[in-house]
Amino acid sequence: MSDEKFAPKAQRPVVYGGEFGKLSTANEEVLEENTGVDTLPVADVISQANSTDQATSNAFAEATNQTSDASDNAPSVFLPVHSTSETQVTPVMPVTAEVTTGKPKRKRRRPGWFALIVAVVVASLLGASLGMYAVQLRYQGARPVAIPVAAKRVEPVVTSQGETPDWQAVAETVGGSVVAIRSSNGETGGSGSGVIIDEAGHILTNEHVISNAEEITVTLADGRLYHADIVGFDAATDLAVISLRNAPDNLSVAALGNSDELQVGQAVTAIGNPLGLSHTMTTGIISALNRPVQTVNAQSSTGEAATVLTNAVQIDAAVNPGNSGGPVFDAQGRVIAIASSIASTSTLNGSGAGNIGIGFGIPINLAKNIANQLIENGVAKHAYLGVRIKDGIAQYGNEARLGALVESVEEGTPAAKGNIQSGDVIVGIDGHAVVSAASLTGYVRQYSAGDMVTLRIARNGELQEIDVTLAVRAD
Protein backbone atom coordinates (compact mmCIF):
# COMPACT_ATOMS: atom_id res chain seq x y z
CA MET A 1 0.00 0.00 0.00
CA SER A 2 1.08 3.39 -0.94
CA ASP A 3 0.08 5.58 0.75
CA GLU A 4 14.24 18.09 16.66
CA LYS A 5 21.92 22.10 20.32
CA PHE A 6 21.65 24.17 21.75
CA ALA A 7 23.35 27.39 21.12
CA PRO A 8 25.30 28.60 24.09
CA LYS A 9 23.68 31.58 25.66
CA ALA A 10 25.17 34.87 24.56
CA GLN A 11 27.90 36.05 26.94
CA ARG A 12 26.89 38.80 29.29
CA PRO A 13 28.43 42.19 28.40
CA VAL A 14 31.49 43.07 30.49
CA VAL A 15 30.80 46.19 32.52
CA TYR A 16 33.82 48.13 33.80
CA GLY A 17 33.43 50.54 36.75
CA GLY A 18 34.60 54.14 36.69
CA GLU A 19 35.37 55.97 33.49
CA PHE A 20 35.62 53.33 30.88
CA GLY A 21 39.24 52.38 30.14
CA LYS A 22 40.79 55.05 32.41
CA LEU A 23 42.80 54.66 35.65
CA SER A 24 45.42 57.20 36.68
CA THR A 25 49.00 56.18 37.43
CA ALA A 26 48.55 57.66 40.90
CA ASN A 27 45.65 55.36 41.52
CA GLU A 28 47.68 52.37 40.45
CA GLU A 29 50.52 53.27 42.82
CA VAL A 30 48.12 53.68 45.76
CA LEU A 31 46.60 50.32 45.01
CA GLU A 32 49.98 48.62 45.02
CA GLU A 33 50.94 50.33 48.29
CA ASN A 34 47.68 49.64 50.13
CA THR A 35 46.97 46.11 48.97
CA GLY A 36 50.39 44.65 48.33
CA VAL A 37 49.01 43.25 45.08
CA ASP A 38 50.25 44.17 41.66
CA THR A 39 47.50 45.92 39.72
CA LEU A 40 46.76 45.47 36.10
CA PRO A 41 45.93 48.51 33.99
CA VAL A 42 42.33 48.53 32.92
CA ALA A 43 43.31 48.71 29.28
CA ASP A 44 45.11 45.37 29.68
CA VAL A 45 42.11 43.93 31.44
CA ILE A 46 39.93 44.99 28.59
CA SER A 47 42.35 43.44 26.14
CA GLN A 48 42.29 40.14 28.03
CA ALA A 49 38.52 40.21 28.24
CA ASN A 50 38.29 40.76 24.51
CA SER A 51 40.70 37.89 23.98
CA THR A 52 38.51 35.71 26.15
CA ASP A 53 35.46 36.80 24.14
CA GLN A 54 37.22 35.95 20.91
CA ALA A 55 38.36 32.54 22.19
CA THR A 56 34.86 31.75 23.34
CA SER A 57 33.43 32.81 19.98
CA ASN A 58 35.96 30.62 18.17
CA ALA A 59 35.12 27.68 20.39
CA PHE A 60 31.44 28.21 19.76
CA ALA A 61 31.96 28.38 16.01
CA GLU A 62 33.99 25.16 16.13
CA ALA A 63 31.31 23.44 18.21
CA THR A 64 28.63 24.65 15.82
CA ASN A 65 30.48 23.22 12.87
CA GLN A 66 30.92 19.92 14.65
CA THR A 67 27.24 19.84 15.47
CA SER A 68 26.31 20.52 11.88
CA ASP A 69 28.59 17.77 10.64
CA ALA A 70 27.29 15.32 13.20
CA SER A 71 23.70 16.03 12.30
CA ASP A 72 24.37 14.87 8.78
CA ASN A 73 26.16 11.67 9.72
CA ALA A 74 24.85 10.53 13.09
CA PRO A 75 21.34 9.52 14.16
CA SER A 76 19.16 12.52 14.85
CA VAL A 77 18.12 13.36 18.40
CA PHE A 78 14.95 15.33 18.52
CA LEU A 79 14.29 16.25 22.11
CA PRO A 80 15.73 19.68 22.85
CA VAL A 81 18.76 19.64 25.14
CA HIS A 82 19.02 22.41 27.70
CA SER A 83 22.31 23.54 29.17
CA THR A 84 22.45 23.36 32.96
CA SER A 85 25.41 25.72 33.25
CA GLU A 86 26.76 28.68 31.38
CA THR A 87 30.09 30.40 30.87
CA GLN A 88 30.17 33.60 32.90
CA VAL A 89 32.55 36.53 32.49
CA THR A 90 32.99 38.27 35.85
CA PRO A 91 32.69 42.04 35.52
CA VAL A 92 36.02 43.84 36.20
CA MET A 93 35.45 46.49 38.84
CA PRO A 94 38.59 48.60 39.58
CA VAL A 95 39.22 49.14 43.28
CA THR A 96 39.10 52.82 44.21
CA ALA A 97 41.32 54.58 46.76
CA GLU A 98 41.21 58.10 48.11
CA VAL A 99 43.99 60.30 46.73
CA THR A 100 44.44 63.85 47.97
CA THR A 101 45.00 66.05 44.97
CA GLY A 102 43.60 69.37 46.21
CA LYS A 103 40.70 69.09 43.80
CA PRO A 104 37.13 68.17 44.74
CA LYS A 105 36.52 64.47 44.39
CA ARG A 106 34.37 63.74 41.36
CA LYS A 107 31.70 61.08 41.76
CA ARG A 108 32.12 58.31 39.28
CA ARG A 109 29.13 57.44 37.12
CA ARG A 110 27.96 53.87 37.02
CA PRO A 111 25.82 52.35 34.34
CA GLY A 112 22.17 52.98 35.02
CA TRP A 113 19.33 50.47 35.18
CA PHE A 114 18.25 51.35 31.65
CA ALA A 115 21.64 50.37 30.20
CA LEU A 116 21.61 47.12 32.14
CA ILE A 117 18.12 46.21 30.94
CA VAL A 118 19.06 46.96 27.33
CA ALA A 119 22.14 44.76 27.62
CA VAL A 120 20.14 41.85 29.03
CA VAL A 121 17.47 42.12 26.31
CA VAL A 122 20.06 42.20 23.52
CA ALA A 123 21.86 39.19 24.98
CA SER A 124 18.59 37.26 25.29
CA LEU A 125 17.55 38.00 21.71
CA LEU A 126 20.96 36.97 20.40
CA GLY A 127 20.85 33.71 22.35
CA ALA A 128 17.31 32.95 21.18
CA SER A 129 18.22 33.60 17.54
CA LEU A 130 21.22 31.32 17.69
CA GLY A 131 19.16 28.67 19.46
CA MET A 132 16.41 28.75 16.85
CA TYR A 133 18.96 28.46 14.06
CA ALA A 134 20.52 25.43 15.70
CA VAL A 135 17.11 23.78 16.16
CA GLN A 136 16.18 24.34 12.51
CA LEU A 137 19.50 22.93 11.38
CA ARG A 138 19.08 19.93 13.62
CA TYR A 139 15.51 19.01 12.76
CA GLN A 140 15.62 19.92 9.09
CA GLY A 141 12.20 21.57 9.03
CA ALA A 142 10.48 19.18 11.44
CA ARG A 143 9.31 19.85 14.98
CA PRO A 144 10.11 17.92 18.17
CA VAL A 145 7.11 16.53 20.01
CA ALA A 146 6.95 15.81 23.72
CA ILE A 147 5.74 12.36 24.68
CA PRO A 148 2.06 12.77 25.60
CA VAL A 149 1.04 11.90 29.13
CA ALA A 150 -2.52 10.85 29.76
CA ALA A 151 -4.32 12.88 32.41
CA LYS A 152 -5.74 10.93 35.34
CA ARG A 153 -9.50 11.01 35.74
CA VAL A 154 -11.39 9.96 38.82
CA GLU A 155 -14.73 11.65 38.26
CA PRO A 156 -17.47 10.03 36.13
CA VAL A 157 -17.05 10.59 32.40
CA VAL A 158 -20.78 10.84 31.70
CA THR A 159 -22.39 13.77 33.51
CA SER A 160 -25.53 14.43 31.45
CA GLN A 161 -28.45 12.53 29.97
CA GLY A 162 -29.75 12.97 26.45
CA GLU A 163 -33.31 12.69 25.16
CA THR A 164 -34.58 9.61 23.33
CA PRO A 165 -34.49 10.20 19.55
CA ASP A 166 -37.84 10.62 17.80
CA TRP A 167 -37.30 8.01 15.13
CA GLN A 168 -40.86 8.32 13.87
CA ALA A 169 -40.31 11.98 13.05
CA VAL A 170 -37.01 11.11 11.37
CA ALA A 171 -38.67 8.46 9.20
CA GLU A 172 -41.43 10.83 8.15
CA THR A 173 -38.97 13.62 7.36
CA VAL A 174 -36.19 11.84 5.48
CA GLY A 175 -37.73 8.55 4.35
CA GLY A 176 -38.67 10.01 0.99
CA SER A 177 -35.01 10.62 0.09
CA VAL A 178 -34.16 6.90 0.20
CA VAL A 179 -34.53 4.85 -2.99
CA ALA A 180 -34.31 1.20 -4.01
CA ILE A 181 -31.98 0.41 -6.94
CA ARG A 182 -32.12 -2.54 -9.30
CA SER A 183 -29.33 -3.07 -11.83
CA SER A 184 -28.91 -5.57 -14.64
CA ASN A 185 -26.37 -6.37 -17.34
CA GLY A 186 -28.55 -8.73 -19.33
CA GLU A 187 -27.31 -11.86 -17.62
CA THR A 188 -27.19 -11.07 -13.94
CA GLY A 189 -28.69 -8.44 -11.72
CA GLY A 190 -28.43 -7.04 -8.26
CA SER A 191 -30.19 -4.73 -5.88
CA GLY A 192 -29.21 -2.11 -3.38
CA SER A 193 -30.13 1.27 -1.98
CA GLY A 194 -29.31 4.91 -2.54
CA VAL A 195 -30.07 8.44 -1.35
CA ILE A 196 -31.13 11.51 -3.34
CA ILE A 197 -28.59 14.30 -2.80
CA ASP A 198 -29.92 17.15 -4.97
CA GLU A 199 -33.01 18.36 -6.82
CA ALA A 200 -31.47 17.46 -10.16
CA GLY A 201 -32.00 13.80 -9.36
CA HIS A 202 -28.46 12.74 -8.48
CA ILE A 203 -28.37 9.65 -6.27
CA LEU A 204 -25.40 8.54 -4.17
CA THR A 205 -24.85 4.79 -3.82
CA ASN A 206 -22.15 2.11 -3.77
CA GLU A 207 -20.12 1.27 -6.86
CA HIS A 208 -20.68 -2.44 -6.35
CA VAL A 209 -24.46 -1.89 -6.55
CA ILE A 210 -24.28 -0.64 -10.16
CA SER A 211 -21.02 -2.21 -11.38
CA ASN A 212 -21.19 -3.39 -15.00
CA ALA A 213 -24.84 -2.41 -15.19
CA GLU A 214 -26.47 -1.93 -18.57
CA GLU A 215 -29.84 -0.97 -17.17
CA ILE A 216 -30.69 0.70 -13.86
CA THR A 217 -34.14 1.12 -12.38
CA VAL A 218 -34.86 3.30 -9.37
CA THR A 219 -37.95 3.02 -7.17
CA LEU A 220 -38.85 6.09 -5.12
CA ALA A 221 -40.43 5.90 -1.68
CA ASP A 222 -43.90 6.51 -3.12
CA GLY A 223 -43.53 3.71 -5.66
CA ARG A 224 -42.72 5.73 -8.76
CA LEU A 225 -40.22 4.07 -11.12
CA TYR A 226 -37.47 5.80 -13.09
CA HIS A 227 -34.61 4.73 -15.28
CA ALA A 228 -31.22 6.06 -14.29
CA ASP A 229 -27.81 6.53 -15.89
CA ILE A 230 -24.36 6.25 -14.38
CA VAL A 231 -22.77 9.68 -13.87
CA GLY A 232 -19.51 8.30 -12.52
CA PHE A 233 -18.05 5.73 -10.17
CA ASP A 234 -14.94 5.34 -8.01
CA ALA A 235 -13.93 1.74 -7.35
CA ALA A 236 -11.26 2.77 -4.84
CA THR A 237 -13.88 4.07 -2.39
CA ASP A 238 -16.83 1.94 -3.59
CA LEU A 239 -18.91 5.02 -4.37
CA ALA A 240 -20.98 5.94 -7.40
CA VAL A 241 -23.45 8.59 -8.54
CA ILE A 242 -26.38 7.87 -10.83
CA SER A 243 -28.93 10.32 -12.22
CA LEU A 244 -32.65 9.89 -12.79
CA ARG A 245 -33.88 10.33 -16.34
CA ASN A 246 -36.55 13.01 -16.51
CA ALA A 247 -36.33 13.62 -12.80
CA PRO A 248 -39.49 15.11 -11.27
CA ASP A 249 -39.46 18.49 -9.60
CA ASN A 250 -40.83 17.26 -6.28
CA LEU A 251 -37.99 15.04 -5.11
CA SER A 252 -37.21 14.67 -1.42
CA VAL A 253 -33.55 15.62 -0.96
CA ALA A 254 -31.52 14.43 2.02
CA ALA A 255 -29.48 16.78 4.20
CA LEU A 256 -25.83 15.74 4.45
CA GLY A 257 -24.16 15.94 7.85
CA ASN A 258 -20.53 16.21 9.01
CA SER A 259 -18.83 12.93 9.86
CA ASP A 260 -15.97 14.77 11.61
CA GLU A 261 -18.40 15.59 14.43
CA LEU A 262 -19.54 12.03 15.13
CA GLN A 263 -19.10 10.40 18.53
CA VAL A 264 -19.12 6.81 19.69
CA GLY A 265 -22.44 6.01 21.34
CA GLN A 266 -24.37 8.44 19.16
CA ALA A 267 -27.79 7.20 18.03
CA VAL A 268 -28.19 6.34 14.33
CA THR A 269 -30.63 4.72 11.97
CA ALA A 270 -30.17 2.90 8.66
CA ILE A 271 -32.88 2.99 6.01
CA GLY A 272 -32.65 0.87 2.89
CA ASN A 273 -33.68 -2.12 0.85
CA PRO A 274 -32.35 -5.18 2.75
CA LEU A 275 -33.13 -8.48 1.08
CA GLY A 276 -35.47 -6.65 -1.28
CA LEU A 277 -37.62 -5.31 1.56
CA SER A 278 -37.78 -1.67 0.54
CA HIS A 279 -37.62 1.20 2.99
CA THR A 280 -36.72 -0.88 6.01
CA MET A 281 -35.60 1.16 9.02
CA THR A 282 -33.31 -0.13 11.79
CA THR A 283 -31.80 1.77 14.70
CA GLY A 284 -28.69 1.53 16.86
CA ILE A 285 -25.62 3.46 17.86
CA ILE A 286 -22.17 4.27 16.52
CA SER A 287 -19.99 1.47 17.85
CA ALA A 288 -16.62 2.81 16.63
CA LEU A 289 -15.10 5.47 14.41
CA ASN A 290 -12.26 5.26 11.89
CA ARG A 291 -12.42 1.49 11.76
CA PRO A 292 -10.10 0.29 8.94
CA VAL A 293 -12.19 -1.97 6.73
CA GLN A 294 -10.93 -3.66 3.58
CA THR A 295 -13.21 -5.31 1.06
CA VAL A 296 -12.74 -6.64 -2.47
CA ASN A 297 -15.21 -6.16 -5.30
CA ALA A 298 -14.44 -9.02 -7.66
CA GLN A 299 -16.71 -7.61 -10.38
CA SER A 300 -15.76 -3.96 -10.35
CA SER A 301 -16.77 -1.66 -13.18
CA THR A 302 -13.06 -1.30 -13.94
CA GLY A 303 -13.01 -4.86 -15.27
CA GLU A 304 -10.75 -6.17 -12.54
CA ALA A 305 -11.03 -6.84 -8.84
CA ALA A 306 -10.99 -3.64 -6.80
CA THR A 307 -9.67 -3.42 -3.26
CA VAL A 308 -11.57 -0.92 -1.15
CA LEU A 309 -10.02 0.40 2.05
CA THR A 310 -12.02 2.77 4.23
CA ASN A 311 -11.76 4.14 7.76
CA ALA A 312 -15.41 3.36 8.35
CA VAL A 313 -18.14 4.33 10.77
CA GLN A 314 -19.06 1.13 12.61
CA ILE A 315 -22.70 0.79 13.69
CA ASP A 316 -24.79 -1.87 15.39
CA ALA A 317 -28.03 -0.99 13.59
CA ALA A 318 -29.02 -4.01 11.53
CA VAL A 319 -27.54 -3.89 8.03
CA ASN A 320 -28.02 -6.71 5.55
CA PRO A 321 -27.45 -7.38 1.84
CA GLY A 322 -29.52 -4.82 -0.03
CA ASN A 323 -28.70 -2.02 2.42
CA SER A 324 -25.58 -1.31 0.37
CA GLY A 325 -25.51 2.27 -0.84
CA GLY A 326 -28.25 3.34 1.53
CA PRO A 327 -27.98 6.21 4.00
CA VAL A 328 -27.21 6.10 7.71
CA PHE A 329 -28.90 9.02 9.49
CA ASP A 330 -28.27 10.67 12.85
CA ALA A 331 -31.11 11.53 15.23
CA GLN A 332 -31.61 14.88 13.44
CA GLY A 333 -32.15 13.20 10.07
CA ARG A 334 -28.78 14.10 8.53
CA VAL A 335 -26.86 11.56 6.47
CA ILE A 336 -23.64 10.73 8.32
CA ALA A 337 -22.53 7.64 6.35
CA ILE A 338 -23.30 5.42 3.36
CA ALA A 339 -23.84 1.78 4.33
CA SER A 340 -21.32 -0.37 2.48
CA SER A 341 -20.47 -3.67 4.17
CA ILE A 342 -21.06 -5.93 7.15
CA ALA A 343 -19.10 -8.42 9.19
CA SER A 344 -20.71 -11.84 9.51
CA THR A 345 -19.93 -15.35 10.55
CA SER A 346 -20.19 -18.26 8.14
CA THR A 347 -22.82 -20.94 8.30
CA LEU A 348 -22.15 -24.63 7.73
CA ASN A 349 -22.79 -24.35 4.01
CA GLY A 350 -20.38 -21.45 3.65
CA SER A 351 -22.91 -18.73 3.01
CA GLY A 352 -23.05 -15.53 5.03
CA ALA A 353 -25.07 -15.53 8.22
CA GLY A 354 -26.33 -11.97 7.75
CA ASN A 355 -26.33 -9.21 10.31
CA ILE A 356 -24.59 -9.82 13.63
CA GLY A 357 -24.61 -6.21 14.78
CA ILE A 358 -21.42 -5.13 13.04
CA GLY A 359 -22.07 -2.91 10.05
CA PHE A 360 -19.84 -0.36 8.32
CA GLY A 361 -20.52 2.89 6.54
CA ILE A 362 -18.40 5.23 4.42
CA PRO A 363 -18.07 8.59 6.27
CA ILE A 364 -20.26 11.18 4.58
CA ASN A 365 -17.43 13.74 4.30
CA LEU A 366 -15.49 11.32 2.11
CA ALA A 367 -18.65 10.46 0.17
CA LYS A 368 -19.42 14.15 -0.45
CA ASN A 369 -15.91 14.77 -1.75
CA ILE A 370 -16.07 11.87 -4.18
CA ALA A 371 -19.67 12.60 -5.26
CA ASN A 372 -18.87 16.23 -6.07
CA GLN A 373 -15.96 15.15 -8.26
CA LEU A 374 -18.03 12.53 -10.04
CA ILE A 375 -20.83 14.99 -10.78
CA GLU A 376 -18.41 17.63 -12.04
CA ASN A 377 -15.84 15.51 -13.86
CA GLY A 378 -17.17 11.97 -14.07
CA VAL A 379 -14.06 10.70 -12.28
CA ALA A 380 -12.50 11.16 -8.85
CA LYS A 381 -8.87 11.88 -8.05
CA HIS A 382 -7.21 10.78 -4.84
CA ALA A 383 -4.48 12.35 -2.76
CA TYR A 384 -1.47 10.19 -2.01
CA LEU A 385 1.61 10.22 0.23
CA GLY A 386 4.13 8.17 -1.73
CA VAL A 387 5.31 5.53 0.73
CA ARG A 388 5.33 1.77 0.94
CA ILE A 389 4.11 0.83 4.40
CA LYS A 390 3.23 -2.11 6.60
CA ASP A 391 1.98 -2.62 10.13
CA GLY A 392 4.64 -1.67 12.68
CA ILE A 393 5.36 -0.80 16.30
CA ALA A 394 6.76 2.58 17.37
CA GLN A 395 8.98 2.83 20.43
CA TYR A 396 9.81 6.12 22.14
CA GLY A 397 10.68 6.94 25.72
CA ASN A 398 9.25 4.11 27.78
CA GLU A 399 6.28 3.61 25.49
CA ALA A 400 5.40 1.45 22.52
CA ARG A 401 2.40 1.78 20.26
CA LEU A 402 1.00 0.57 16.95
CA GLY A 403 1.58 2.47 13.74
CA ALA A 404 2.47 2.28 10.06
CA LEU A 405 6.12 1.39 9.37
CA VAL A 406 7.62 3.12 6.31
CA GLU A 407 9.49 0.54 4.26
CA SER A 408 10.43 2.85 1.39
CA VAL A 409 9.77 6.35 0.05
CA GLU A 410 9.23 7.10 -3.63
CA GLU A 411 11.38 9.88 -5.10
CA GLY A 412 9.64 13.15 -5.89
CA THR A 413 6.56 12.29 -3.84
CA PRO A 414 4.94 14.34 -1.06
CA ALA A 415 6.56 12.03 1.49
CA ALA A 416 10.02 12.56 0.01
CA LYS A 417 9.56 16.33 -0.10
CA GLY A 418 8.39 16.25 3.52
CA ASN A 419 11.53 14.33 4.63
CA ILE A 420 9.72 11.14 5.58
CA GLN A 421 12.38 8.42 5.84
CA SER A 422 12.51 4.68 5.58
CA GLY A 423 12.23 3.24 9.07
CA ASP A 424 9.92 5.96 10.37
CA VAL A 425 6.78 4.73 12.09
CA ILE A 426 3.79 6.99 11.44
CA VAL A 427 1.54 7.06 14.51
CA GLY A 428 -0.75 10.00 13.78
CA ILE A 429 -2.19 12.26 11.11
CA ASP A 430 -3.86 15.59 11.92
CA GLY A 431 -4.48 14.49 15.49
CA HIS A 432 -5.95 11.09 14.55
CA ALA A 433 -4.22 7.97 15.78
CA VAL A 434 -2.72 5.73 13.08
CA VAL A 435 -2.72 2.13 14.30
CA SER A 436 -1.86 0.24 11.11
CA ALA A 437 -0.92 0.58 7.47
CA ALA A 438 -4.57 0.25 6.49
CA SER A 439 -5.49 2.98 8.95
CA LEU A 440 -3.02 5.44 7.36
CA THR A 441 -4.22 4.61 3.85
CA GLY A 442 -7.83 5.14 4.87
CA TYR A 443 -7.07 8.54 6.34
CA VAL A 444 -5.06 9.74 3.34
CA ARG A 445 -7.92 8.84 1.02
CA GLN A 446 -10.18 11.25 2.88
CA TYR A 447 -8.07 14.22 1.75
CA SER A 448 -7.81 16.10 -1.52
CA ALA A 449 -4.73 16.99 -3.51
CA GLY A 450 -3.13 20.16 -2.17
CA ASP A 451 -4.24 19.52 1.41
CA MET A 452 -1.51 19.88 4.05
CA VAL A 453 -1.47 17.25 6.76
CA THR A 454 0.61 16.97 9.92
CA LEU A 455 2.17 13.55 10.39
CA ARG A 456 3.39 12.40 13.79
CA ILE A 457 6.24 9.94 13.48
CA ALA A 458 8.58 7.99 15.73
CA ARG A 459 12.23 8.16 14.64
CA ASN A 460 15.29 7.05 16.61
CA GLY A 461 13.22 6.65 19.75
CA GLU A 462 11.75 10.17 19.68
CA LEU A 463 8.49 11.72 18.49
CA GLN A 464 8.50 14.29 15.70
CA GLU A 465 5.89 16.13 13.63
CA ILE A 466 6.26 16.87 9.93
CA ASP A 467 3.96 18.84 7.61
CA VAL A 468 3.35 17.23 4.24
CA THR A 469 1.37 18.60 1.29
CA LEU A 470 -0.49 15.81 -0.46
CA ALA A 471 -0.67 15.54 -4.24
CA VAL A 472 -2.42 13.55 -6.95
CA ARG A 473 -0.67 10.49 -8.26
CA ALA A 474 0.35 10.93 -11.88
CA ASP A 475 -1.42 7.78 -13.01
Instruction: Please report which helix (H) or strand (E) contains residue 42, including its range.
Output: helix 42-73
Is 260 an active-site residue?
no
Is 448 an active-site residue?
no
Q: How far, in Å, are 196, 283, 377, 391, 440 from residue 331 at the CA level? A: 19, 10, 33, 36, 30
Is 382 an active-site residue?
no
Amino acid identity for residue 163 in this structure? E
Question: Residue 321 burial by CB count (10 A; 0-12/13-18/19+): exposed, middle or buried?
Answer: middle
Task: Give the separation between CA 296 and CA 292, rounded to whole angstroms.
Answer: 14
The secondary structure of residue 242, as a DSSP letter, is: E
Q: Which residues contact residue 74 at a Cβ distance below 8 angstroms, ignoring those fewer than 6 apart?
A: none
Q: Residue 267: phi, psi to the nearest 5?
A: -75, 140
Strand 202-205 and strand 387-396: the pairing is unpaired
Instruction: Please report which helix (H) or strand (E) contains residue 91, including its range.
Output: none
Nearest to 284 by CA among 345, 328, 322, 338: 328
Catalytic residue selected from 3, 191, 202, 238: 238
Task: Give the separation between CA 91 and CA 78, rounded to whole angstroms.
Answer: 36
279: left (phi over 0), alpha (psi -120 to 50) or beta: left
Catalytic residue selected from 208, 234, 259, 278: 208
Catalytic residue selected from 324, 340, 341, 439: 324
Give CA angle at 430 (424, 431), nearest 5°: 95
For residue 217, give the 3-state DSSP assignment.
strand
The secondary structure of residue 234, as a DSSP letter, is: E
Q: Which residues contact residue 430 at a Cβ distance below 8 angstroms, ignoring those fewer than 6 apart?
A: 443, 453, 454
Task: Give the separation between CA 260 and CA 236, rounded to whole angstroms.
Answer: 21
Q: Which residues are catalytic?
A: 208, 238, 324
